[in-house]
Amino acid sequence: MEEQEFRRRAEKAIEELKQHLIAREEEVDAGFEVEEQSGVLNVSFDDPAGKFVITPNAPVRQIWISALATSFKLDWNAAAENFVLSRTGEAMIPLVDRLIEEHKEG
């Protein structure tokens, strides 16, 4: 995949994730805040304290998610038309939702 195509797909995927998370923020017991800074999404938690960082990595054509002391590296999956965690097959939004729940459970 060319870098321009990666950037376009990554920007679209991160924007979709941001909108999803903003909608989740409105939930009564969301427990997190979302902030975008220069194309990087930060998800900050108060209780328990923590932070997820979601960033495109153009040189390797992946979106990286730093969460729960782990780095999750998502590759573009043409069949799913989404960035997917290869080892589990999870698309980005369901993966981030799962990680948020795991963080909240502590």
CA distance 17 to 94: 10
Per-residue pLDDT at 58: 95
CATH superfamily, domain at 3-105: Frataxin/CyaY (3.30.920.10)
Residue 28: which pLDDT band, with cuts at 50, 70 and 90?
confident
> What is the pTM for the complete model shown?
0.93
CA distance 37 to 31: 20
DSSP 8-class letter at 54:
E
Phi then psi for residue 9, to 5 deg, are: -65, -40
Per-residue pLDDT at 47: 86
Q: Give the tens place of pLDDT for each residue, 16-27.
A: 999 999 999 888
Residue 40: which pLDDT band, with cuts at 50, 70 and 90?
very high
Residue 97: which pLDDT band, with cuts at 50, 70 and 90?
very high
Residues 6 or more apart whose CB falls under 8 angstroms from that of 77 comprise: 83, 84, 91
Tokens of 79: 């069949």
CA distance 85 to 65: 10
What share of the chain has pLDDT > 70, as a percent? Answer: 100
